[in-house]
Amino acid sequence: MYVMNSDIVRHMKHFLLLAAVAFSTASAMAEDVTSWATAVSKQAGTGRAIIFRYAKDFRDGFNESAFPDRVILVWKYKSDSGMPGLNEHGAMDRMEDLLEPMIGESGESVLVLVSTGENLREWIFYAKTGKKFLAALNKALAGQPRFPIEVHTGRDPEWSSYVRFRKGVRE
């Protein structure tokens, strides 16, 4: 999945700088995650890239089975390059910062994957319960302008979405 050629670098230079800032913010989002990594995938049909920020390592003794519910936050946007513009990227970072104390640090969920590209950003969390996650999400975003996100929840006690992604990453 690591694909870096001159076309991708040229089209994403400003985005990668912003992603580095977001990466440092997200790395503190959950103490269960001890290291983060990034991967870039070039889409065959469009030639555009998708950037993945993912939890690479977890603390000793971390128990995935304690987080059986998968929650996906989806933010759709429009861009000729497939990447969010500076203002939209800033709004995404602001939302993620708002989620940190209510979700990441509460011990009720863990962020494992963020993908950005092809006019879509997705955050994948695993939670103790989807219901508690949604309550924390609503509390974290209360009083804020509405963020254009969709929320999808479902059982995934085997962490199949995350496992499938990790199997596809070449390190």
Could you tell me the pTM of the whole model? 0.82
pLDDT at 148: 98
Enter the tokens of residue 160: 């199949």
**What digits encode the pLDDT tens for the residues 20-38?**
434 433 433 448 999 999 9
**From CA 140, how far away is CA 5, in angstroms rounded?**
39
**From CA 74, how far away is CA 122, in angstroms rounded?**
5
Q: What angle do CA 76, 45, 11 make, to 5 degrees?
A: 65
CB distance 71 to 109 below 8 Å: yes
**What digits encode the pLDDT tens for the residues 66-95?**
999 999 999 999 999 999 999 999 999 999
Which parts of the chain have pLDDT scores under 70? 1-30, 104
pLDDT at 6: 35
Cβ atoms within 10 Å, residue 126: 25
Output the CA–CA distances (angstroms, integers) from residue 126 to 43, 102, 134, in the order listed: 26, 14, 12
